[in-house]
């Protein structure tokens, strides 16, 4: 959402693709205590909602689907999003991270 916000403010045509809900891991966090500006902490979903509402002020095309493939040929990036193929001049990947599992038996 931050990347989309910056680009939209620079008048770049932006589409933001999110397969779940905007906010990512923030939505799994009860209380975020290290985000500047919220000395008492803020619930993850509230911060995610505030960021999503901020984005509403800009012309960002929001696509609620999964990117299943990305192919780059001669400076054109082709993304498979659901059943569609979308072309873009540039792609910003913000797909997060997965926790490394310890491999211990449960
Ligand atoms: C329980 C918990 C508590 C935490 N507490 C804190 C805290 O208090 N303070 C702190 O600083 N950090 C905390 N973190 C870590 C913090 O949430 C992450 O570092 C941060 O959310 C990473 O942001 P991100 O945008 O890079 O990735 P993510 O939040 O993981 O977002 C990536 C997004 O990309 C989407 N996506 C991925 N692949 C695709 C695809 N192929 N197509 C479409 N969409 C896709 C996902 O659906 C996801 O919404 C916590 C994490 C957890 C799980």
Residue 13 CA to its chain's centroid (Å): 16
Give this prediction's pTM: 0.91
Our answer on whether the CB atom of 82 is closer than 6 Å to any ligand 1 atom is: no
pLDDT of 97 above 90: no
Our answer on whether the CB atom of 26 is closer than 6 Å to any ligand 1 atom is: yes
pLDDT category at 62 given cuts 50, 70, 90 is very high
Q: How far apart are the CA of 87 and the centre of ligand 1, in A?
A: 25
């Amino acid at each position: 959402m931050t990347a989309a916000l910056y680009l939209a403010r620079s008048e770049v045509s932006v589409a933001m693709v999110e397969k779940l809900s905007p906010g990512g891991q923030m939505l799994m966090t009860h209380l975020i205590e290290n985000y500047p500006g919220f000395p008492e902490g803020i619930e993850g979903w509230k911060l995610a909602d505030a960021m999503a509402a901020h984005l509403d002020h800009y012309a960002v095309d929001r696509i609620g689907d999964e990117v299943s493939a990305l192919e780059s040929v001669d400076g054109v990036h082709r993304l498979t999003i659901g059943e569609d193929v979308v072309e873009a001049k540039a792609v910003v990947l913000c797909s997060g991270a997965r926790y490394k599992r310890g491999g211990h038996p449960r």
